Amino acid sequence: MSAPAAFTDDSAGGTLRFTGSLSLATLGDLPERLATYDGKVERIDLSAIDRLDTIGAWTIHRLAQRTGATVEGLTTDRQHLFDQVQAADQPVNIRGQHVPAFYRVLGEIGEATILTFKTMVGLLGFLGATTLAFGAIFKSIVVPPRRFRFNATVQRFEVVGVSALGIIGLMSFLIGIVIAQQGAVQLRQFGAEVYTINLVGRLSMRELGVLMTAIMVAGRSGSSFAAQIGTMKLTEEIDAMRTIGVSPMEALVVPRVLAAVFMMPLLGFYSALIAILGGCLLCWLALGIPPVTYVQRIREVVPISDVWIGLIKAPVFGAIIAIAGCFQGMLVEADAEQVGLRTTAAVVQGIFLVIVLDAFFAVFFSSIGWI
């Protein structure tokens, strides 16, 4: 058992020499005696102590702080502990300094702006890493050994595409009915109810079919990508993959991006057709337009360029959604709360980028005459 802590003073030399164990179990009343010690102290000699823990280091630090003495005789490990305790002795502001509302709002806007730019830079870097992973996989297909994970990609196809047919079909059918009903109400004022078919056909095929599908895929698959990869990051499965020589970009990101890119055009076209079918039902029941006339009118008013516009936008939207989801999943750190936060960020980021790109495509296609 270690000897209790004790000290001897050398009043002439101004040195306090400590012996024994400076630990919580053996300090006893040493802190109280040191607090009332009024002798001259210039140096504190700890070369003869047996042990030093955090409480003992704190006691010596308070004594040195009160008297202005220097601490000597510590070994390397004990000196490191003493330095850590000394660095931790900082004043704590219980109540934060009051900041005027204007400066507080301005600071929050600045922080949000910086975070946005950092996220965009990180997203561009992740896009570059994904492109390099695609290049490495393509090279491995040409030059064995092959690294393309066919089974994982097909399984992602099922999750992103086949499993989403029901909910996307229902959503599109109802949207088609709503467009037809609202369009008919407004056009009836001008005696032009027949143009409801034009509205439903062009709007569904050109814009809403692929846009609503992208929003649904972002909420359904983009969040799933972020949660899955984030959980794997949290449980160190991704670190284990790197340890055994498996690239997470090739094994996790590439199959998901491929699935979203290839399935989005199919889902977008399917969504547009179902929306047109919903409009057909409404026109038949509310306006008395037979389905045969409706289909014939659709063929006349919907140009092939509208179909191409939807098919061109869809894979771009799919790539953005998948990359945003995987990117946010890779950013998960520290705790399980990060999984929820990054999943939410993936959905918001994916939908925001889809809408921005859709606006860009609208201006671009109008400028080249695809109106």
Rounded to an integer, what distance in angstroms lies between the CA atom of residue 281 and that of residue 289?
9
Give the helix/strand (H/E) hosting 349.
helix 337-367
Segment 61-69 long-range contacts (CB within 8 Å, at least 24 positions apart): 61/85, 61/86, 61/89, 62/31, 62/34, 63/16, 63/34, 63/37, 65/89, 67/41, 67/42, 69/14, 69/16, 69/41, 69/42, 69/43, 69/44
Average pLDDT by consecutive 10-residue portion of the chain (371 residues)? 71 77 83 82 85 88 86 88 87 73 91 91 92 85 69 89 92 94 90 89 91 93 93 90 89 93 94 94 90 92 91 94 94 86 93 94 88 71
Q: Classify domain 6-88 at the CATH topology level.
A: Transcription Regulator spoIIAA (3.30.750)
Q: What is the pLDDT of residue 94?
A: 65
Q: Please tell me what DSSP assigns to residue 164.
A: G
Range(s) within the chain of domains with CATH label 3.30.750.24: 6-88
| C-alpha distances out from residue 112 to 202, 243, 343, Å | 38, 36, 18
Rounded to an integer, what distance in angstroms lies between the CA atom of residue 276 and that of residue 107?
48
Place of tokens 């109008």: 366
Q: Give the tokens for residue 262.
A: 């290839």
Instruction: Count CB atoms within 10 A of the CB of residue 108.
Output: 10
Rounded to an integer, what distance in angstroms lies between the CA atom of residue 220 and that of residue 359?
23
Rounded to an integer, what distance in angstroms lies between the CA atom of residue 366 and that of residue 304?
15
Angle at 237 between CA 235 and CA 241, to 5 degrees: 165
Rounded to an integer, what distance in angstroms lies between the CA atom of residue 219 and that of residue 234?
22
| C-alpha distances out from residue 236 to 230, 272, 306, 335, Å | 10, 42, 46, 12
Q: Give the tokens for residue 366.
A: 């109008």
Residue in 323, 311, 308 with CA at minimum distance from that of residue 353: 323
Task: Quote the pTM value.
Answer: 0.73
Backbone phi, psi, residue 15, to 5°:
-120, 135
Backbone phi, psi, residue 45, to 5°:
-100, 115
Rounded to an integer, what distance in angstroms lies between the CA atom of residue 371 and that of residue 368?
8
| C-alpha distances out from residue 77 to 35, 53, 73, Å | 26, 11, 12
Give the helix/strand (H/E) hosting 9.
strand 6-10
Rounded to an integer, what distance in angstroms lies between the CA atom of residue 178 and that of residue 339?
36
Residue in 209, 129, 126, 142 with CA at minimum distance from that of residue 169: 209
Rounded to an integer, what distance in angstroms lies between the CA atom of residue 73 and that of residue 164?
71
Q: What is the pLDDT of residue 264?
A: 95
